[in-house]
Amino acid sequence: MRRLAATALTAAALAAGAVPAAAHIDILPTTVEAERSTEFTMRVPTEREVPTTAVRVDFPEQITVYSFAPPPAGWTMRQRIAPDGTLAGVVYTGGRIPVDGYLDFTFLGTPFDTGETAWRTYQTYADGKVKPWTAAPEPEDAISAESGPTEPGPAAGVRVVAKGTLAQATGGATQAPAAATSTTQSSDAAIWASLIAIVIAAAAFLTAGWLWTKRPMRLPEDPPGGKA
């Protein structure tokens, strides 16, 4: 019985270690266009059973980040400046992301070089342990095994495509311009219909007035007994 219990516990431990990880820190969108200003969102989930208390992100060299949205309530932001004076990253502290919760941190940036970019991040938990998301980015929609609270996990990856090719790269359809054209045509038709209705109403009003002026006028009859 003891051997069976030990075997069961060992199997359970191995199974627990093989459980896929939950969602990691993501940078959205995952595909962007070179030379186009883009709003990036860093989505930070708490994967462990303790809250997240700080997040640091290092910006890729291929992307210039230049503006930040206010951080979520309770959080403060500190920019990290490289020795050459460029903006190297940002650190968010002061707040908490609860267990099973997540928060979004937003900033603007412009990509300049095409290719794959890695956004290395460091997630600090309430127990003081820091999870480095600094390994090679994993393929989109891949699920990797959890490497532990302080072992490196996959960094967030963003693909930069050439200017003017985002629709083809993401499989974007061209239905939106067609819908916009259809809407414009419908609006123009409605305007013309309204103008025609106004012209017809005005013509009817003028015609009625003209007919009224052409009506024979009836003079009052003479009073009894001749002229007044």
pLDDT (tens digit, 9 = 90+) per residue, 177-223?
444 344 344 445 555 555 566 656 555 555 555 444 555 544 445 44
Assess whether 205 and 103 both reside in one domain: no
> Average of pLDDT values for 82-87?
93
Polymer length of the chain: 228
Q: How far apart are CA 85 and CA 98, in angstroms?
A: 35
Structural domain count, the chain: 2
Q: How confident is the model at residue 10 (pLDDT cuts 50, 70, 90)?
A: very low
CB 58 within 8 A of CB 120: yes
> Average of pLDDT values for 61-73?
97
The encoded tokens of residue 58 equal 């290092």
Taking the CB of residue 126, how many other CB atoms lie within 10 A of it? 16
Has residue 47 been placed in a domain?
yes
User: What is the reported pLDDT for 197?
Assistant: 61
Q: What is the pTM of this model?
A: 0.65
Which range, 17-21, 112-116, 168-172, has the best average confidence (pLDDT)?
A: 112-116
Assess whether 54 and 152 both reside in one domain: yes
Assess whether 26 and 91 both reside in one domain: yes
Average pLDDT over all residues of the chain = 77
> Average of pLDDT values for 162-173?
68
Of all residues in the chain, the percent with pLDDT exceeding 90 is: 57
Q: Report the CATH number that the domain containing residue 128 is assigned in CATH.
A: 2.60.40.2230
Assess whether 118 and 56 both reside in one domain: yes
Q: How far apart are CA 146 and CA 17, in angstroms?
A: 7
Has residue 123 been placed in a domain?
yes
Q: How far apart are CA 206 and CA 222, in angstroms?
A: 35
Assess whether 65 and 91 both reside in one domain: yes
Has residue 10 been placed in a domain?
no
Has residue 5 been placed in a domain?
no
Domain that includes residue 108, residue range: 16-169
Assess whether 88 and 156 both reside in one domain: yes
Assess whether 108 and 189 both reside in one domain: no
User: What is the reported pLDDT for 140?
Assistant: 72
Has residue 202 been placed in a domain?
yes
